[in-house]
Structure 1
């Protein structure tokens, strides 16, 4: 149909026609050649060689879900149907068939790398070739997330399982009392949170980023930071007895208070209480420091 022609000569009842253009419909005629005369041409039959294939495929990954990507290509001559296969490096494969120049592949795994193969078919032929195209799905949510609090430092270390395809991890620590959030970026498997507030509960999550897509957040892990130091400590000695009265302001995050009294002659006694005041007796005749 495009004006191209070719021919072959044979003394048999068949011959091979080479040099046909892909995706072009040819009309084939046969003429018998004699010593003196030639026959008229036979009635024509149509012949459709293999369809042409596009030179490239574009992939648009759905960053909002784990399992889908839209793949598109230019229309080519001679193809009635296209079957596109996405083959993962782990052996998994998904495909879609269409008469259009695009299709959605679903059932993809998060954090996967897929190579693309395209098959074009018409009434006569089917041709399959690897296309120089591949794509990566959005990263998986980080796994095995854990947090470790270093007491006395207001520092927490968040850790997770690192994956090779991830370009950046973004972790966050949300304070329960007011929703304030700290962020920490990492290219490895840990993040270091400093200056945490005493007496608070923090929730930690981490997300992974690669190729412009972000993973869902990881499972949440929580810690309670160390209690704040008591403030407003006052003491009162009852002079007509061996008792003293100690009081202080409530300390955020405290479940129990330990009061230690140390005398100048070496006597020491400790008291535990869940209240914000304590009345106790101490041996007379000493000067006490109380913490």
Structure 2
């Protein structure tokens, strides 16, 4: 069917707006990349537009020469992997029973779980609980306090309700499957989109986590990458203030491009991981967000 003039104009406007939004979103990331490879003077003077000015990798050399970087990477990978597995396990085991219509007191339990999104105990009570559990200054302090995200659980619950036919679960029950077998053999194989989305949410949350580390960790060998990068940046600033005028100028200059290099170092793993789950992202979040 041939489109009318108004339809074509509407399509052109939508395409133009979409391209404009894409440029607005993508350019800041592109600017960070070219700034990390440019001379500090060019960054400070505003000479950067679309290409690096004066190719420079000294910032990356300074970052990766720091042994703490690799310790931070190792810790963050452990926290992200272990924490995401725990998150997915608890989220699934909570969402599945709440999604079933034959669950006793399902409405009340859903309300009690949702209530935690509006009201919390506060930082000090949570810290006292973690301390009394004896998990401060340990790996568990980074994965246990945030073991379940209520919003993610409700998204997964709604996905189970709206996308998994109840007849399939009833058929599995008639065939002799227990609730756990139904979850493993029927529900989860049909839930790849929402599992991919929730995995991405939790992985990004753990990868960028730093507040819990500030509160619960004292041992530098347990610091995640974000804390290590912050310390490197602060250390570079303090050395610049404490040095002579020539050294201070050089360190301040190099510190400007180091900021951008640190952003790239912290962001690349997630940017590499995202394309593998991108095809599930839209379907999972849209269907899971529908009110059940």
TM-score range, shorter chain: under 0.3
Greater share of strand residues, 1 or 2?
Answer: 1
Greater share of helix residues, 1 or 2?
Answer: 2
TM-score normalised over the length of structure 1: 0.16
- Of structures 1 and 2, the one with the larger relative CO (CA 8 A, separation 6+) is 2
Which structure: larger Rg?
Answer: 1
